[in-house]
Amino acid sequence: MQMTEEGVALIRRFEGFRANAYRCPAGVWTIGFGHTSQAGPPAVRPGMVLGEDEANRILAADVQRFADEVGPLLAREVSAAQFSALVSFAYNVGIPAFRSSSVLKAVNDGRFAEVPGRLKLWVKGGGRVLPGLERRRAAEAEMFMSDIAPQAGRGMTGAPKSVEADRNIRHAGAVVGGTAAAVTVAHALPVWVSVVVLVTVLLALGAYASWRWRRPTTGKVA
């Protein structure tokens, strides 16, 4: 699977371009767009200088290398956006840390909703919380969930809520009529819809009872 353009842009934005080699907060020699010797050639050394065009070429090679390493570690199918968020995270913390992280474990266990919280645990550099890492983890979390959040009609199981509601109704044995059926259906619906359903049913029952009470009795008069 390939990184999306948005994923590469996220890495570029948070890494930032540095023409001169420097030590990152973790003490690792870095240059360009977060390139380190651990990521592959070229090796970063003190005093090294890099042009931005060359840095972009190195970034493209580094991103591809990380994507090739992240892919085989995933036991679940993920979207391109989710994959890009995971590669960005791995690019930042390194493959060994990614491999042992609770982020990867949550993905491979299918607990996608937990991934943003797991990402946000990785915000320290040099033993202290870094605002830049907090912003990056938030952006990665948002990207990871971007293919999930629009599907507001889906519950935690991944099935559409209409399917889950039907499953809940059948599980509750809701082949009944009147208020009991309305309550069961309302339980599977959003709160405001539930209120409307219950009020409508109660008004209808009240009107019917009132009509039955006022209806004249027919029959023969002696």
- Give the bridge partners for 124, in sequence order: 129
CB 160: neighbour CB atoms within 10 A? 13
Cis, peptide link before residue 72, omega less than 30° from 0: no
* 74, 82 contact by CB (below 8 A): no
Catalytic, out of 15, 54, 77, 164? 15
Helix (H/G/I), strand (E/B), else coil: 21: strand
Q: Is 15 a catalytic site residue?
A: yes
Q: What are 128's two structure tokens?
A: 């202290």
Between CA 102 and CA 98 the distance in angstroms is 8
* 85, 141 contact by CB (below 8 A): yes
Between CA 115 and CA 105 the distance in angstroms is 9
Write down how long the chain is: 222
* 107, 87 contact by CB (below 8 A): no
Catalytic positions, please? 15
